[in-house]
Amino acid sequence: MTKSDDLDGKVGVVTGGGKGIGKAIAKGLAENGVKVVVCSRTKAELDQVAREIKENDGEATPVVTDLTDSDQINGLVDATVEAYGRIDILVNNAARSFLRPLIDLREDGWDKIFNTNCKAVFLLSRAVAKIMGKQGGGRIVNITTIGAVRGGAGMGVYHASKAALSMLTKCMAVEWAPLQINVNAVGPGLTKTAFSQPIWDNPDMERMITARIPKGRLAEPEEIVGAVLFLCSNQSSFITGESIYVDGGSLAHS
- Nearer to ligand NAP among residue 202 and residue 237 (C-beta): 202
Counts of helices then strands in the chain (DSSP H, E): 9, 7
Amino acid at 141: V
- 3 state SS of 90: strand
Interface residue with ligand NAP, options 4, 68, 182, 236 (CB under 6 A): 68
**Residue 206: CB atoms within 10 Å:** 17
Selection from 48, 161, 36, 72 nearest residue 109 by Cα: 161
Our finding on whether 94 is near ligand NAP (CB under 6 A) is yes
Nearest distance in Å: CB 92, ligand NAP: 8
CA dihedral 172, 21, 118, 178 (to 10 degrees): -10
Which among 158, 176, 195, 245 is annotated as catalytic?
158
Instruction: Tell me the window of 81-89, 174-182, 188-196, 228-236 that interacts with ligand NAP (CB under 6 A).
Output: 188-196
Do 10 and 88 touch, CB atoms closer than 8 A?
A: yes
Our finding on whether 67 is near ligand NAP (CB under 6 A) is yes
x-or-dash string of contact with ligand NAP, 101-140, rule CB under 6 A:
---------------x------------------------
- Nearer to ligand NAP among residue 10 and residue 19 (C-beta): 19
Size of the site for ligand NAP (CB under 6 A): 28
- Nearer to ligand NAP among residue 176 and residue 245 (C-beta): 245
- Nearer to ligand NAP among residue 33 and residue 41 (C-beta): 41
- 3 state SS of 77: helix
Our finding on whether 188 is near ligand NAP (CB under 6 A) is yes
Our finding on whether 36 is near ligand NAP (CB under 6 A) is no
- Nearer to ligand NAP among residue 9 and residue 198 (C-beta): 198
Nearest distance in Å: CB 159, ligand NAP: 10
Q: What are phi and psi of 189, to 5 degrees?
A: -85, -170
Do 145 and 162 touch, CB atoms closer than 8 A?
A: yes
- Reported as type and span, the H/E element at residue 143 is strand 138-143
Q: b vs e for 221-241, b when ≥16 Cβ sit within 10 Å of the residue's Cβ?
A: bebbbebbbbbbbeebeeebb
Whether 84 is catalytic: no
Binding residues for ligand NAP, rule: CB under 6 A, are: 15-16, 18-22, 40-42, 65-68, 93-96, 116, 143, 145, 188, 190-191, 193-196
